[in-house]
Structure 1
Amino acid sequence: MYRIGQGIDFHQMVEGREFWLGGVLIPHTKGALGHSDADVLLHAICDAMLGALSLGDIGKHFPDTDQSFKNIDSKILLERCFTLIAERGYCVVNVDSTILLQAPKIMKYADDMRETIAKILHITTDDISIKATTTEQMSFIGREEGIVATANLLLRKVG
């Protein structure tokens, strides 16, 4: 049995925050603003996993009203979402993701992101696609006010 999930996450980009994306710290003058480390890519993958099994969304499992999640490393959130699907007898087959941001250019970090994600999800880097695009300076993304990530994934029932 297979299940498909789709996730999306948005965060503001602000001065004075570290910029975490795909579990990798990327040098930049701005970082994503959020209750956790605001890693939009990992959050989108979490939502895709949870959605595939009708388990709600990341906000249900890790609410921003809970101080235990304040500034949490999103790799921990991804690990916990992976545990939730594994407990239900599923594994990840593949992930396809897109990041929408004007700056910085992030594709030189894509292999590191893929390695980080693959390790957590117990798949290979060949099973993870990371793409990036700008909005040609249009909208809040083009003005470098925010970042968006989308993720689609396929789960397979084990056994």
Structure 2
Amino acid sequence: MTTTPEGHPVTPLPRTGIGVDVHAWAPEGDDRPLWLGCLRWPGERGIEGHSDGDVAAHAACNALLSAAGLGDLGSVFGTDRPEMAGASGAQMLAHVADLLARGGFQIGNVAVQVVARRPRVGARRAEMEAAMSSALGGAPVSVSAATTDGLGFVGRVEGLAGIATALVAPR
């Protein structure tokens, strides 16, 4: 147990983190599949990236790592690591959950927002939440979506983004 300099016990507080991930769409005609929220999206153009490019899962990883003070996506899964080529968002989430558990943290929840004009997240929201929660060992995950009213790179349909927050607490 942590104590003050005077020896009084200190109750550890929960910690929050924020994460962002952005990827460009793959070139037209590229047969790379789209992975988003740990789900494959048939009929949708994929994105460019070293791993599967799942912006929802990657943003969640960044938020969890930030909350626990364990670095970020690049420091844990860097593009300089050939074994990470093609890694799935689900594998990355599971690895981050394991890092947090070994670091003495439990996951309170993760909230993810996908910022994109396509695909339409609403129709598969519950599936995304279940898949991401499963990858995190059952931790609660909520998913929402937004567009940018035609503004910026998302509005020009050049790419998509994920933004996430996470709450973790010491065990």
The aligned residue for residue 147 of structure 1 is: 160
C-alpha distance 29-118 of structure 1, shift in aligned 2 (>3 A)? closer
Q: Which residue of 1 aligns with 2:17?
A: 5
1:93, 1:123 within 8 Å by CA — same for their partners in 2?
no
The one-letter code of the counterpart of 1:154 is: L
Identity in percent = 31
Q: Which residue of the partner structure matches residue 68 of structure 2?
A: 53
Computing the radius of gyration over CA atoms, which structure comes out larger, 1 or 2? 2
- What is the TM-score normalised by the length of structure 2? 0.86
Paired with 1:117 and 1:139, the residues of 2 have a C-alpha distance of: 28
2:25 match: secondary structure? strand
Equivalenced residue count is: 156
Backbone CA RMSD of aligned residues: 1.3
Q: TM-score, normalised by structure 1?
A: 0.92
Q: Structure 1 stretches of 5 or more lacking a match? A: none
1:74, distance to aligned residue in structure 2 (A): 1.8
Give the Cα–Cα distance (whole angstroms) in 2 for the partners of residues 13 and 19 of structure 1. 9
Larger mean Cα displacement after TM superposition, 52-61 or 34-43: 52-61
What SS does structure 2 have at the residue aligned with 1:35?
coil
- Residue in structure 2 matched with residue 36 of structure 1 by the alignment: 51
Tell me the alpha carbon deviations over residues 135-156 of structure 1, each in whole angstroms, 9 at most, x when there is no partner.
1122110111110000001002
Kept in 2, the 8 Å contact 1:95–1:153? The answer is: yes
Which amino acid letter does the alignment assign opposite residue 66 of structure 1? R
